[in-house]
Structure 1
Amino acid sequence: MKRIIITHKTPKGKLIGRANFQPPINSIVILKSNKKFKKVGKIYDVFGPVNRPYVKIIPFKGFEDYIGEVYILKQKNGKSKYRKK
């Protein structure tokens, strides 16, 4: 799992974090504590320098004011479930 550090909250309720890699959009961001995982939010936007981009996260209920260290779940790289024939 790769790490993101959430630094602050925007006036519109989104969370801003800093990463050391280019995370995929729509990835789930989780909080890991005592071998339990809690979903914090979903990546909405990636902006800034390529080396250390900023990440905008839409928080789930209960994590609107969270600031700290979170991790990204890996997304599956597969085709969509439904496709035209």
Structure 2
Amino acid sequence: MKKLGTVLHISSQMNIVVRSNFVPKIGKRSIVSDEKQKKVGYVYDAIGSVNKPYLLIKPLNKNQNYSNLIGENLYIKKIGKKFKKK
């Protein structure tokens, strides 16, 4: 697991806003977890500077209140390269 960044706030569209030091792959395969390795959502978009981007995390459960994550660190699973056998 690699540290993705710190949760800043929850947007009006219920996306989790995270300040990060890098831009991960965007999409449903980029699963984001909390410190207890509980799945929170996936990386939906990256905005701002490439060096210090703000990431939008789309929650997996839209009915859950994620305000308790503010100030907490989120993590992303490292995705290795897949090689094809010849």
Please classify the TM superposition score into its range, dividing by the shorter chain length. 0.7 to 0.9
Q: Is the 8 A contact 1:40 1:63 kept in 2?
A: no
SS in 2 for 1:11: coil
Q: Is the 8 A contact 2:16 2:56 kept in 1?
A: yes
Q: CA separation of 1:19/1:43 partners in 2, compared to 1, >3 Å: closer, same or farther?
A: same
Q: Is the 8 A contact 1:4 1:72 kept in 2?
A: no
Choose 1 or 2 for highest CA Rg. Answer: 1
Structure 2 segments unaligned to the other structure (5+ residues)? none
- Root-mean-square deviation over aligned CA pairs: 1.7
Q: In structure 1, what is the equivalent of residue 82 of structure 2? A: 78
Output the CA distance in 2 between the equivalents of 1:22 and 1:72: 11
Output the CA distance in 1 between the equivalents of 2:56 and 2:21: 14
- 1:69 counterpart (66, 70, 73): 73
Q: Structure 2 length as normaliser, TM-score? A: 0.76
Q: Deviations over 1:16-48 (max 9, x none)?
A: 110011211021111123xxx110110000110
Structure 1 segments unaligned to the other structure (5+ residues)? 80-85
Matches within 5 A, 1:21-60: 21-26=22-27, 27-33=30-36, 37-60=37-60
Q: CA separation of 1:74/1:44 partners in 2, compared to 1, >3 Å: closer, same or farther?
A: same
Following superposition, the deviation at residue 63 of structure 1 comes to 5.5
Output the CA distance in 1 between the equivalents of 2:65 and 2:6: 14
Q: In structure 2, what is the equivalent of residue 82 of structure 1? A: none
Range with bigger deviation, 60-69 or 48-57: 60-69
